[in-house]
């Protein structure tokens, strides 16, 4: 008998695109509906702050599949369409305009949205955030030689875009409320590496500052005012102060929400027929030992395999370690695991030369590792974390000791 079930995926980003792919790969023969608010087919977002931002080229490589793939795999795609509500009793989603689509299983892959500033002038033209292709296009237009670009927030996205701005010849200022950019993630020793990197490339990084107002007119921005009265000229302001999970649908439907839609290790929410994946999902992760919400590309790429297995009541792959990467100027980096910035740090290699591996240790065990301009060590870093055993910090720091000997 043919499968007459309908699975609806809400959110047509990377997680949604990989979910419908996994459904077909795992043998689901029923009806699949993919609904996304953006007008584009599912695509990967890292190029928006990296190569595509710099060149405006090779965007085709970012799309999960072309339109023909969805047609060939009998996936009904509704782009440019917003889901307004979930009716859990009727097991239907309501689209803008009132149309209703029934579901047997529902996957929420609604992603996250950039946080906006609650400040005077924050809604002026020329205050930009980065999430979509169109956002990247607008920012690229602003990255011109001699233009003054001020970044509010020194997180990963802000620093990646700041590096592109500096490479383009713009006059770049980064405003960070903490003592160092990235210090909440990396701790002071490793965060200093990134602050030094940007300063060496001419970026004015100002730390421990508070933004009070975005200056300008109804036509655009002219600067940023700090709480101490300092005015910093700006032609463009890029806001990178984090992202918030898009939980409104889930919350209105009465699902459990806590820093995202809460779910078990296979993405099953408080409603057994509704699942969550990607940026919006706060899931149990047995690898790190607690619930975690991960906003990075690799999670949206890999987590749908785990969640779709749950939707199909199949045994699926184990969840993977959190992973992310960045490229800034001549620095390339990969990070595996999840650490507290207060954890002990052990460095193997040349920190000042920015060619090293950093390990974060908790109770003597490696819980995260970051390779900077050192390649082909990801498997060894992951094995160290998975071993869950104490290591000798001196041997860990010694490049002469193979990492394989420490697992």
Evaluate whether residue 119 is within a structural domain. no
Tokens of 350: 């040349």
Nearest 5°: the CA angle 99, 104, 313 is: 150
What is the pLDDT, as a whole number, of residue 1? 44
Q: Are residues 15 and 82 in the same domain?
A: yes
- The residue segments making up the domain with residue 33 are 6-113+244-311
Nearest 5°: the CA angle 141, 143, 145 is: 120
Domain count, the chain: 3
What is the pLDDT, as a whole number, of residue 38? 97
pLDDT averaged per 10 residues, the chain (length 407): 88 98 97 98 96 93 97 98 98 97 98 96 97 97 97 96 98 98 96 98 98 96 98 98 97 98 97 98 89 94 97 91 95 96 96 97 97 97 95 97 94
Q: Are residues 149 and 211 in the same domain?
A: yes
Q: Identify the CATH number of the domain in which residue 270 sits.
A: 3.50.50.60
Evaluate whether residue 251 is within a structural domain. yes
Given 311, 338, 354, the domain boundary residue is 311
What is the pLDDT, as a whole number, of residue 329? 97
Evaluate whether residue 49 is within a structural domain. yes
Strand order in the sheet with 355-362: 323-328, 331-337, 365-372, 355-362, 344-350
Q: Are residues 54 and 132 in the same domain?
A: no
What is the pLDDT, as a whole number, of residue 7? 98
Residue among 217, 178, 162, 184 nearest 329 (CA): 162
What is the pLDDT, as a whole number, of residue 286? 86
Q: Are residues 25 and 90 in the same domain?
A: yes
Q: At what angle do helices 156-167 and 183-200 cross, to 10 degrees?
A: 10
């Amino acid at each position: 008998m043919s499968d007459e079930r309908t699975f609806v995926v809400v959110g047509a980003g990377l997680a949604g695109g990989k979910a419908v792919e996994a459904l077909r790969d795992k043998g689901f023969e029923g009806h699949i509906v993919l609904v996304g608010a953006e007008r584009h087919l599912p695509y990967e977002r890292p190029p928006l702050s990296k190569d595509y931002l710099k060149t405006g080229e090779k965007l085709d490589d970012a799309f999960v599949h072309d339109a023909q793939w969805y047609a060939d795999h009998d996936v009904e795609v509704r782009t440019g369409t917003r889901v307004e509500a979930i009716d859990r009793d009727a097991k239907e989603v309501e689209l803008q305009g009132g149309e209703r689509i029934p579901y047997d299983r529902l996957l929420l892959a609604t992603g996250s949205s950039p946080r906006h500033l609650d400040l005077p002038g924050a809604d002026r033209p020329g205050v930009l955030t980065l999430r979509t292709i169109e956002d990247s296009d607008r920012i690229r237009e602003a990255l011109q030689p001699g233009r003054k670009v001020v970044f509010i927030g020194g997180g990963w996205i802000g620093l990646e875009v700041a590096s592109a701005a500096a490479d383009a010849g713009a006059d770049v200022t980064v405003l960070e409320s903490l003592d160092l950019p990235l210090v909440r993630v990396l701790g002071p020793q490793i965060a200093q590496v990134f602050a030094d990197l940007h300063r060496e490339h001419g970026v004015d990084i100002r730390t421990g500052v508070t933004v009070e107002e975005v200056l300008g007119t109804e036509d655009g921005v002219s600067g940023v005012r700090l709480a101490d009265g300092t005015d910093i000229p700006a032609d463009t302001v890029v806001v990178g102060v984090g992202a918030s999970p898009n939980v409104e649908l889930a919350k209105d439907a009465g699902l459990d929400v806590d820093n995202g839609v809460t779910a078990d290790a296979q993405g099953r929410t408080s409603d057994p027929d509704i699942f969550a994946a990607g940026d919006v999902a706060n899931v149990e992760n047995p690898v790190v030992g607690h619930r975690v919400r991960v906003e990075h590309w690799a999670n949206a790429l890999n987590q749908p395999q785990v969640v779709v297995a749950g939707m199909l009541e199949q045994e699926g792959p184990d969840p993977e370690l959190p992973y992310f990467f960045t490229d800034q100027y001549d620095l390339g980096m990969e990070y595996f695991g999840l650490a507290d910035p207060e954890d002990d740090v052990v460095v193997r290699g040349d920190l000042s030369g920015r060619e090293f591996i950093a390990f974060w240790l908790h109770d003597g065990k490696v819980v995260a590792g970051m390779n900077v301009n050192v390649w082909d060590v990801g498997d060894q870093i992951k094995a160290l974390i998975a071993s869950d055993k104490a290591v000798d910090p001196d041997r860990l720091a010694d490049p002469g000791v193979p990492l394989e000997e420490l697992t």
